[in-house]
Amino acid sequence: MFIGELSRRTGVSPRGLRYYEEHGLLRPRRRASGYREFADSDVAVVRRIRVLLTAGLNTDLIRGVLPCMADKGAILAPTCDEMTQGLRGERERMSRSIEQLQSAHAMLDSIIHAGESAAVRAGCDT
């Protein structure tokens, strides 16, 4: 199938599909005319890519884990033991980032609250 058909079947724009190809996530066959030709199985590959992107993985990491992913209903499951460990490490990195963002959020709340209190004491309109 050509890129337009894959786009219709997956809901990903042709531009997005070309982006996936540029990052090594899709490997369509090239016709003599230069047109990309995708396999029916690429529909499932694009679905997996989208799930992994939604899970917060970047394209470099997805390129590494994609060959070791299998569909388990609506979710994916790693088929390689070492991949599970790598995904746990990525989840830990995300957890640390979330904690840092929560701390920054709390600090910003404190600053805003202190500013509102100071403005009220000074008789300013906020």
* 46-75 pLDDT, tens digit each: 999 999 999 999 999 999 889 888 888 777
* CA 64 to chain centroid: 14
The predicted pLDDT at position 118 comes to 66
pTM: 0.77
CATH number at residue 72: 1.10.1660.10
**In terms of residue numbers, what domain contains 70?**
1-79
The predicted pLDDT at position 20 comes to 98
In the DSSP assignment, the letter for residue 79 is S
The predicted pLDDT at position 62 comes to 93
Domains in the chain, number: 2
The predicted pLDDT at position 18 comes to 97
Q: Tell me, yes or no, whether 98 and 67 share the same domain.
A: no
Q: Tell me, yes or no, whether 122 and 61 share the same domain.
A: no
How far is it, in rounded angstroms, from Cα 7 to Cα 95?
A: 33
Q: Tell me, yes or no, whether 52 and 87 share the same domain.
A: no
- CB–CB of 68/79 below 8 Å? yes
Beta pairing partners, 69: 78
Q: Tell me, yes or no, whether 64 and 89 share the same domain.
A: no
- CB–CB of 76/59 below 8 Å? no
Element (H, E) at 75: strand 75-78
Q: Tell me, yes or no, whether 70 and 108 share the same domain.
A: no
Q: Which of 3-12, 16-25, 27-36, 64-73 has the lowest mean pLDDT?
A: 64-73
Give me the DSSP letters along 29-71.
EE-TTS-EE--TTHHHHHHHHHHHHHTT--HHHHHHHGGGEEE
